[in-house]
Structure 1
Amino acid sequence: MHHRFALLSAAAVITVTLAPASAEAHAVRPKPAQRAAADTAAERRQVLTYWTEGRMEAARPLQAPAPKTRTADEPEQGAPFAREAQAARTPGEAWTGGGAVARTTGRIFFTTATGRNSSCSGTAVTSANKSVVLTAGHCVKMNGAFHTNWVFVPGYDRGSRPFGTWPATRLLTTPQWNAREDVGFDVAAAVVAPVDGRTLVDAVGGQGVAFNQPRRQQLYAFGYPALAPYDGSKLIHCSGRAFDDFMGSDDLVLTCNMTGGSSGGPWMLNFNESTGLGTQNSVNSFKYSFAPDWMLGPYFGNEAQAVYQSAQTANAL
């Protein structure tokens, strides 16, 4: 069987939530699964106290469940493609360009139902409530349970938290991830409470976001990989033209060697290296074990849009 593992701004940009072109895309969007997080002031204080520097440094990425899109008797057809992926190896590099992406992208920390402290990545996006972080589904819920102690640290840099720590008041994911952890719908959002009277987007800015876009476009991926050869200390990026997953999922694929901890980091369309602004169109989701230089990300369709819309209209307190 093929296994997969999780990878696991000062100026805001106008949110781009483009209208879908097809009749199918106009269908009623499925209702996301939601759960309250630290929705009282006392709970938020407790979460902020919990996340000491030591606990953040000790947090380790999750091992996500295997995809349900293939069966055990279908492994060998991927072998030639695995060799191609190795030949096309393009390591992720530290992002040194600054700009909005260095403020809007951050690390996510949480505690699983088994008591394990773990990390992912996420992005502040423009939204009606200025309080939405987009990430991967397994970064809010896994093995049937929502995570707790959930916080977002934008601009994390070698242990520094230049823009503070933002506790979630609500977690949302697609019904497909909620029900069966379907990797094709590994998308989630968190609504975070204001810090010192300021919303997240007021503090760090926000990236645009778009849904039902054409496939196979040029994309930039960002995240905080925390497994070797990375250590979660800084923002890493990859770029290239996305291609389709031949293994049977509806996901997009980028050649990128980011590792666990980068899960939930943004994939950007129309990314401007000078300003650090782009339009989010997927997230780092998982890798097949036979192709460690392939990063897969879910297609942002109606389900992802429904998660975003529900999150941006939620009360941040």
Structure 2
Amino acid sequence: MHRRLALLSAVTLASGGTFLTTALPATASTAPPPAEEEAADTKAEQGDVLDYWTKSRMQNAQPLTVPAPKTGSNGQGEPGQPNTNSPWTAPPTDPQAAVSTGSQWTKGGAVAKTTGRVFFTYQGRNASCSGSAVTSANRSVVVTAGHCVKMGGEFHTNWVFVPGYDNGNRPYGTWVATKLITTPQWNAREDINFDIAAAVVAPQSGKRLQEVVGGQGIAFNQNRRQQMYSFGYPAASPYNGSKLIHCAGRAFDDFLLSRDHGLTCNMTGGSSGGPWFVNFNETSGSGTLNSVNSFKYNFAPNWMFGPYFGDEAQAVYKEAQNTDAT
């Protein structure tokens, strides 16, 4: 047991506020408590999970599919009406007019170590997502999408994070989750607006995740419509999950059925849970995590959407960093 410390479908995939480059102190939150599930929290269980994930199983894992936002799911106005929670800006271009093809990230830097593939078993089959190591008090936190830890009413099993995954190679090891945490909204009804999660991972050879790969900063309740960089390991065609892919551009507001950020990007299934950064530096590969890849609409394959990181995301992060990973 733990002690407390002081996409995608045919819809596919997928400055005020708190700004952090280091761990957030444990303080009270106005958000409802997050939902959590014990994962492999004994040495024996962790060994079994590590043995389970052979190179072949990882290569054959299929990207997870997340359901589309439902009509009226934005909670604003009448069913079928656009999100009026705040003024929105139209996307910078028509989604079919200027395709932003995700390209392989070749510049190295921190992002090449902190971003990785996520593997797990979902309803009896092996699946994949993406995730990012972030700075935290326990130096053991991975941030990803809600549907990458729980979907269909059940938390996933055999959950691991492989930072820096490169065509089957695991240069920084395989990190087994000891606890999975998501928002109460995703836990209760799989609300796409709160498709946010974190995992706490066990140490390897006496070292914690952040000591091996570093960690990106994380921010909450930030301004919208900023320049953002998105990263992930898309595994559905035309990608195969072997390389780190990225997109970049100015985010826009989803004016359809969610309150999410939008970005022109054609990454595919498997990139779910990959990080969206503000203030990203291409030279150092460092930025501040402010959303994750979540979903796409089937009629707009070149738009990708990610949840707004508000109080609920902050509560998930706090719960994760205040969990003892040992």
Q: Is TM-score (shorter-chain normalized) higher than 0.5?
A: yes
Q: Which residue of 2 aligns with 1:218?
A: 227
SS of alignment partner, residue 101 of structure 2: coil
State the AA in 2 paired with 1:146. F
Choose from 11, 25, 35 the match for 1:5. Answer: 11
Q: Which residue of 2 aligns with 1:204?
A: 213
Alpha-carbon distance in structure 2 between the residues aligned to 1:248 and 1:7:
16
Q: How far did residue 88 of structure 1 move? A: 2.1
Q: How does 1:6-25 map to 2 (within 5 A)?
A: 6-8=12-14, 14-15=21-22
Alpha-carbon distance in structure 2 between the residues aligned to 1:241 and 1:199:
34
1:149 aligns with 2:149: no
| % identical equivalent positions | 66
SS of alignment partner, residue 226 of structure 1: coil
State the AA in 2 paired with 1:190. A
SS of alignment partner, residue 243 of structure 2: coil
Q: How far did residue 27 of structure 1 move? A: 6.5
Q: Normalization by structure 1: what TM-score? A: 0.90
Q: How far did residue 259 of structure 1 move? A: 0.1
Alpha-carbon distance in structure 2 between the residues aligned to 1:233 and 1:98:
15
The question of whether the paired residues in 1 share the 8 Å contact of 2:12 and 2:298 is answered with: no
Show CA shifts across 1:62-88 (max 9, x none).
1112212448x859xxxx98x910112
Q: Count residues with an aligned counterpart.
A: 299
Q: Structure 1 pair 127/33, CA: closer, same or farther in 2 (3 Å)?
A: same
The question of whether the paired residues in 2 share the 8 Å contact of 1:68 and 1:182 is answered with: no
The question of whether the paired residues in 1 share the 8 Å contact of 2:144 and 2:292 is answered with: yes
SS of alignment partner, residue 308 of structure 2: coil
Alpha-carbon distance in structure 1 between the residues aligned to 2:35 and 2:80:
32
Q: Which residue of 2 aligns with 1:23?
A: none
1:236 aligns with 2:238: no
Q: How does 1:125-144 map to 2 (within 5 A)?
A: 125-144=134-153
Show CA shifts across 1:6-53 (max 9, x none).
425xxxx932769xxxxxxx9612100000000000000000000000
The question of whether the paired residues in 2 share the 8 Å contact of 1:6 and 1:62 is answered with: no
Q: Structure 1 pair 67/310, CA: closer, same or farther in 2 (3 Å)?
A: same
Show CA shifts across 1:203-262 (max 9, x none).
000000000000000000000000011000000000000000010311000000000000
Show CA shifts across 1:181-222 (max 9, x none).
000000000000001110000000000000000000000000
SS of alignment partner, residue 36 of structure 2: strand
Q: Which residue of 1 aligns with 2:98?
A: 88
The question of whether the paired residues in 1 share the 8 Å contact of 2:29 and 2:315 is answered with: no
Q: Which residue of 2 aligns with 1:34?
A: 36
SS of alignment partner, residue 94 of structure 2: helix
1:251 aligns with 2:257: no
Q: Which residue of 1 aligns with 2:289?
A: 280
- Deviating beyond 6 angstroms after TM superposition, the runs of 4 or more aligned structure 1 residues are none
Alpha-carbon distance in structure 1 between the residues aligned to 2:71 and 2:164:
35
The question of whether the paired residues in 2 share the 8 Å contact of 1:16 and 1:279 is answered with: no
Name structure 2 gaps, 5 residues minimum: 1-8, 15-19, 74-78, 82-89
Q: Structure 1 pair 91/202, CA: closer, same or farther in 2 (3 Å)?
A: same
Q: Structure 1 pair 16/280, CA: closer, same or farther in 2 (3 Å)?
A: farther
1:68 aligns with 2:70: yes
Q: Structure 1 pair 144/6, CA: closer, same or farther in 2 (3 Å)?
A: farther
Q: Structure 1 pair 248/129, CA: closer, same or farther in 2 (3 Å)?
A: same
Q: Which residue of 2 aligns with 1:308?
A: 317
Alpha-carbon distance in structure 1 between the residues aligned to 2:118 and 2:214:
17
State the AA in 2 paired with 1:154. P
The question of whether the paired residues in 1 share the 8 Å contact of 2:231 and 2:274 is answered with: yes
Q: Calculate the aligned-residue CA RMSD, in Å.
A: 2.2
The question of whether the paired residues in 2 share the 8 Å contact of 1:16 and 1:210 is answered with: no
The question of whether the paired residues in 1 share the 8 Å contact of 2:69 and 2:257 is answered with: no
Alpha-carbon distance in structure 2 between the residues aligned to 1:150 and 1:119:
10
Name structure 1 gaps, 5 residues minimum: 19-25
Choose from 289, 299, 304 the match for 1:295. Answer: 304
Q: Normalization by structure 2: what TM-score? A: 0.88
Q: Which has the higher helix share?
A: 1
The question of whether the paired residues in 1 share the 8 Å contact of 2:252 and 2:261 is answered with: yes
Q: Which residue of 1 aligns with 2:116?
A: 106
State the AA in 2 paired with 1:52. T
Alpha-carbon distance in structure 2 between the residues aligned to 1:38 and 1:68:
33
